[in-house]
Structure 1
Amino acid sequence: MSGPNGDLSMPMEASAEGEEDSFGEAEYAAINSMLDQINSCLDHLEEKNDHLHARLQELLESNRQTRLEFQQQLGEASSDATH
């Protein structure tokens, strides 16, 4: 007997088994491949984040050093002006 799409109907048990078989090794391999790609992208993002963090730390330290030097120059200039 044909189903609504003109397909032959299958008994319920055979249909359920067919669905399990239709999601086989190829699909799991594709999912694993996608997960590996996602993992690789996340690793790459983590590396970039670590690099940016290190560069920001360097910039922060550089700015601190520049600020201290500027404050020292201002202090020297004000002490020279009072003498």
Structure 2
Amino acid sequence: MSGPNGDPDVSADDGIVEDEEEFSEEEYTAIDSMLDRINSCLDHIEERNQALNGKLHELLESNREARREFREQHPPDEEPESTED
């Protein structure tokens, strides 16, 4: 039988703790505290990512506007008419 990741040598039950009394209350508290800190860090990363994403969109829009203004002030030169005889 294949395991949870398709590994044929690993049982799906490997690593699962069946006896909940193996961990003390202090260990559960420490794990809970660690998970809270991880969650806080992930929230902080998400906030920074959203802020950076917003700044990127502002920068892109500013760049588009600057390019638009530049094109309006400096239209491409038209080809001069040929004066061949």
Query: Which one-letter code corresponds to 1:69 in the other structure?
Result: E
Do residues 56 (structure 1) and 56 (structure 2) align?
yes
Query: Which one-letter code corresponds to 1:30 in the other structure?
Result: A
Alignment gaps of 5+ in structure 2? 1-19, 79-85
Aligned residues: 60
Post-superposition offset of 1:22: 5.8
Query: Which one-letter code corresponds to 2:36 in the other structure?
Result: D
How far apart in 2 are the matches of 1:63 and 1:45? 26
Instruction: Note the 1:19-30 alignment, pairs <5 A.
Output: 21=21, 23-30=23-30
Over the matched positions of the two proteins, sequence identity in percent amounts to: 58
After TM superposition, the score normalised by the length of structure 1 is 0.65
Query: Which one-letter code corresponds to 2:39 in the other structure?
Result: N
**2:47 corresponding residue in structure 1:** 47
**2:82 corresponding residue in structure 1:** none
Alignment gaps of 5+ in structure 1? 1-19
Write out per-residue CA displacement over residues 24-63 of structure 1, whole angstroms, 9 at most, x where no aligned residue.
1000000000000000000000000000000000000000
Runs of 4+ in 1 over 6 A off after TM superposition: none
Higher helix share: 1
State the SS of the aligned residue for 1:66. helix
Larger radius of gyration: 1
How far apart in 2 are the matches of 1:66 and 1:35? 46
